[in-house]
Structure 1
């Protein structure tokens, strides 16, 4: 088998056995394809089951000159996953990344927006257009429920349980969770549904998709990025923001107002509490306030 065949089998494994999303699988595959390009450029003809430690180390060294340590660590992680799969399937007896360690990257704290900045961002939306009502509903949902952008664009009407005050989210690995949704966010979704979505000519297969483009198709992740970037420019916001910034802000504002980490973890859909703990590092003044308010030895 050649590289393409092994990669195809690996993708099937990620999709079927590990239940990873299409975007995650594409990211894993990109790391392997980058290795393939390196081999081709250096005229190294070797299969995945024969490639040596030295060749992989040469590739990692070349990558280190082109990308930052965080990206380098991600590439190494992606390759380790692929070669571990080959070992698991008995194509190899060992992995060529056994002795390769990812560079230390430190913990990058996520960017956040203040409540005022979020209000300004949403306030800059042009509500004179149908897309404006949709965009306001989307941003309110991103911030009000702490969703990932992939969760937003795949949100279904049948996942809305407004009477109960929840929405059902299908997150990473097709894991489902119920997230509380406030009346404020519900109001703008309802306005969009009644005043905009009802007039769209919806394409077959998207009848249950909540947020649609003007042609009646599901929105792309890239479109959500563009909408938010354009709004940031409109209000002269000097921060590099993305849809994930609203998710980070959701979690940070909950923590600042007294929510516990376990509750935030469940709402965000983090598999491990350690992922959620990054928000503890965002506001040390808040942590000092908590200690001085509640600790018996304050």
Structure 2
């Protein structure tokens, strides 16, 4: 077994067997590609089956010593997954990364916006410009539904179930979930869809995509990041904001206003409640109110 063939097989395994998204598969593949490059550059005699823990430690030390603790942990995690696959497929009897410890990384709390800051960013949209209604609808959808960038980009006209008050969202690993949509978010999507998009000429392959660029094609991630950055600056907000900040703010504001953590988990599409629990650390001010409201000895 050589490195390149095993990498191809591993990526197919991640995509087909584990159902991971294309971006995730690419990122896992990059970790192994770094190892392969290091092996070539240092003329290391090792195959995927024969490489040892000591050789992997040499790679991590020489390649990752300039990386941050979180980047080192991410790299080691990627290597562990690859060798777990080789063990699972009976190519190896052991995982050489089992005894390699990743650096301890504290959980980074997500940046959030206040409700006023969200309103200021959305109000900064220039509705006199041709793409104004679209941009407002995108920002409203990011915040109002707590979607990832990829989920907004891939939202389809056929995913809008407004009569029922839901949209169908395709998340990581092509997993689908129904997300409730607030009346104000629905209103701005309808304005864009019924008054602006109806007059555009989408390319055949994008006829069902909701948000289009001026050429009738699907928007890119870079365009959404630029849109958020421009309107944040226009609103006079100095925080470092990305599209994902709207998703964090969506979850935080729901929690602050008394929403159930399980419900937030379902709306965000988190597989594990542990992922959602990070929002418990963002603002604990409501916990005393919960105790005083629901405990029998209040």
Q: TM-score, normalised by structure 2?
A: 0.95
Q: Which runs of 5+ in 1 are unaligned?
A: none
1:171 counterpart residue number? 171
1:187 counterpart residue number? 187
Tell me if 1:233 matches 2:233.
Answer: yes
Q: Give the Cα–Cα distance (whole angstroms) in 1 for the partners of residues 230 and 74 of structure 2.
A: 29
2:280 counterpart residue number? 280
Residues 212-242 of structure 1: per-residue CA shift (max 9 Å, x gap): 1111111122221121122222233222221
Residues 54-102 of structure 1: per-residue CA shift (max 9 Å, x gap): 1111122234422211121111111111111111112212122010122
2:94 counterpart residue number? 94
1:130 counterpart residue number? 130
Q: TM-score, normalised by structure 1?
A: 0.95
CA 1:37–1:229 in structure 2 vs 1: closer, same or farther (change >3 Å)? Answer: farther
Q: Give the Cα–Cα distance (whole angstroms) in 2 for the partners of residues 236 and 56 of structure 1.
A: 48
1:205 match: secondary structure = helix
Matches within 5 A, 1:34-53: 34-53=34-53
Q: Give the Cα–Cα distance (whole angstroms) in 2 for the partners of residues 121 and 145 of structure 1.
A: 16
Q: Which runs of 5+ in 2 are unaligned?
A: none
Residues 6-42 of structure 1: per-residue CA shift (max 9 Å, x gap): 1111111111111111111111111111212222332
2:286 match: secondary structure = helix
State the Cα distance separating 1:45 from its structure 2 match.
4.3
2:75 counterpart residue number? 75
CA 1:2–1:129 in structure 2 vs 1: closer, same or farther (change >3 Å)? Answer: farther
State the Cα distance separating 1:194 from its structure 2 match.
2.0
Q: Give the Cα–Cα distance (whole angstroms) in 1 for the partners of residues 284 and 192 of structure 2.
A: 39
2:27 match: secondary structure = helix
2:87 match: secondary structure = helix
2:200 counterpart residue number? 200
Q: For structure 1, which segment, 231-240 or 273-282, has the greater mean C-alpha deviation from structure 2 after superposition? A: 231-240
Q: For structure 1, which segment, 230-239 or 6-15, has the greater mean C-alpha deviation from structure 2 after superposition? A: 230-239
Q: For structure 1, which segment, 33-42 or 75-84, has the greater mean C-alpha deviation from structure 2 after superposition? A: 33-42
Matches within 5 A, 1:225-264: 225-264=225-264
Asked if structure 2 preserves the Cα contact closer than 8 Å seen for 1:63 and 1:72, the reply is no
1:226 match: secondary structure = helix
CA 1:57–1:192 in structure 2 vs 1: closer, same or farther (change >3 Å)? Answer: same
CA RMSD of aligned residues (A): 1.5
2:161 counterpart residue number? 161
Asked if structure 2 preserves the Cα contact closer than 8 Å seen for 1:144 and 1:182, the reply is yes
